[in-house]
């Protein structure tokens, strides 16, 4: 495909650049919400930091349904945020993770920085970076660990029925990174999150993110998706670019791990091999 088509001014259009801009806006937005709630006189305005958490809607859903009220520190606004993420997933699969999630954005930034700091550049289209970090875990560790996020999701859903605060509340990396109001436990989570993101690209998304586990289901049913064709010659360029380290990307375009970042589409050099399409039932 050729996402780098030219616009009217002759400047090549880049999906990757658009994604980076949207991701940075998401990060700035998350920091703004965090900052607003530590400034004097601002803490009582609007919902708390937790009220904007997309996963908070998942955590408080079952208590709301069976007990009739939200968990402490959550808010009805959590359902609105969750609805936004589910809407995006319904249309385009796990694209929320790849484009709009501030935590995903931070991890992408860390991966870029650590590549440059460890003796390499980012991947130059079709050529693997020579950087030592981030690492790729061996399949024996990587494959079983990918299921951990589903386990985390199930445990949280069950635990939410028996807790007063959301189960992930004290361990939430979103709070650790963006809330700017850290407990000792959240400091520990922040350090682990940073170390994980520096060592393995999208460490949290791949292995532990319960929201990613929930949204992964939509990759199989969303109408907007990438479709490969016979033009593909399995050159492997898309495998190099994949931040979720999916193997044989053209054969696994609807893999639950795919965050629909569109880097594969962007890097593909063969016209018509990968195309963005809307499936009509």
Partner 1 sequence: MVHKIMKINPRYYPVILLITFVLFVLLGILLGFRPQHGNGNHESYMLMFTQYAINGLGAIV
Q: Which of residues 69 and 136 has its CB atom nearest to partner 1 in the complex?
A: 69
What is the rounded distance in angstroms from the CA atom of residue 199 to the CA atom of residue 224?
Answer: 32
What is the rounded distance in angstroms from the CA atom of residue 248 to the CA atom of residue 234?
Answer: 8
The minimum distance between CB 102 and partner 1, in angstroms, equals: 13
CB 219 within 8 A of CB 98: no
Draw the binding track, 40-79, toward partner 1 (x: CB under 8 A; -: no contact): ----x-xxx--x------------xxx-xxxxxxxxxxxx
Among 137, 190, 224, 232, binds partner 1 (CB under 8 A): 224
Among 92, 172, 197, 216, binds partner 1 (CB under 8 A): 92
Q: Is 212 in the site for partner 1 (CB under 8 A)?
A: no
* CA distances from residue 5 to 9, 11, 13, 230 in whole angstroms, order as listed: 11, 9, 6, 22
The minimum distance between CB 86 and partner 1, in angstroms, equals: 7
Q: At CA 119, angle to CA 113 and CA 122, rounded to 5?
A: 50
The minimum distance between CB 140 and partner 1, in angstroms, equals: 35
* CA distances from residue 172 to 243, 271, 273 in whole angstroms, order as listed: 22, 42, 40
Sign of the torsion angle spanned by Cα atoms 19, 20, 26, 29: negative
Q: Which of residues 41 and 138 has its CB atom nearest to partner 1 in the complex?
A: 41
Residue with tokens 């949280």, as numbered in its chain = 156
Q: Which of residues 9 and 138 has its CB atom nearest to partner 1 in the complex?
A: 9
Q: Is 269 in the site for partner 1 (CB under 8 A)?
A: no
Interface residues with partner 1 (CB under 8 A)? 1, 3, 5, 7, 13, 15, 18-19, 22, 44, 46-48, 51, 64-66, 68-88, 90-92, 95-96, 99-100, 224, 227, 262, 265-266, 275-281
């Amino acid at each position: 495909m050729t996402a780098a088509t030219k616009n009217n001014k002759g400047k090549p259009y880049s999906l990757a650049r658009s994604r980076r801009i949207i991701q940075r806006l998401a990060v700035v937005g998350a920091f703004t919400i965090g900052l607003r709630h530590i400034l004097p006189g601002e803490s009582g305005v609007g919902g708390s930091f937790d009220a904007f958490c997309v996963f908070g809607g998942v955590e408080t859903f079952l208590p709301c349904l069976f007990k009739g009220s939200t968990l402490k520190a959550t808010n009805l606004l959590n359902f609105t945020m969750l609805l936004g993420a589910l809407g995006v997933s319904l249309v385009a699969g796990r694209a929320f993770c790849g484009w709009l999630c501030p935590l995903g954005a931070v991890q992408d930034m860390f991966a870029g920085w650590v590549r440059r700091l460890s003796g390499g550049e980012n991947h130059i289209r079709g050529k693997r970076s020579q950087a030592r970090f981030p690492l790729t875990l061996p399949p024996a560790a990587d494959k079983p660990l990918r299921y951990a996020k589903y386990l985390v999701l199930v445990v949280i859903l069950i635990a939410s029925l028996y807790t007063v605060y959301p189960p992930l509340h004290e361990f939430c990396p979103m709070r650790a990174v963006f809330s700017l109001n850290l407990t000792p436990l959240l400091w520990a989570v922040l350090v682990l999150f940073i170390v994980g993101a520096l060592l393995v690209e999208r460490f949290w998304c791949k292995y532990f993110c319960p929201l990613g586990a929930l949204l992964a289901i939509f990759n199989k049913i969303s109408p907007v998706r990438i479709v490969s064709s016979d033009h593909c010659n399995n050159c492997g360029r898309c495998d190099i670019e994949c931040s979720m380290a999916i193997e044989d990307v053209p054969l696994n375009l609807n893999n639950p791990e795919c965050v629909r970042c569109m880097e594969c589409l962007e890097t593909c050099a063969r016209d018509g091999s990968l195309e963005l399409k809307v499936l009509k039932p």
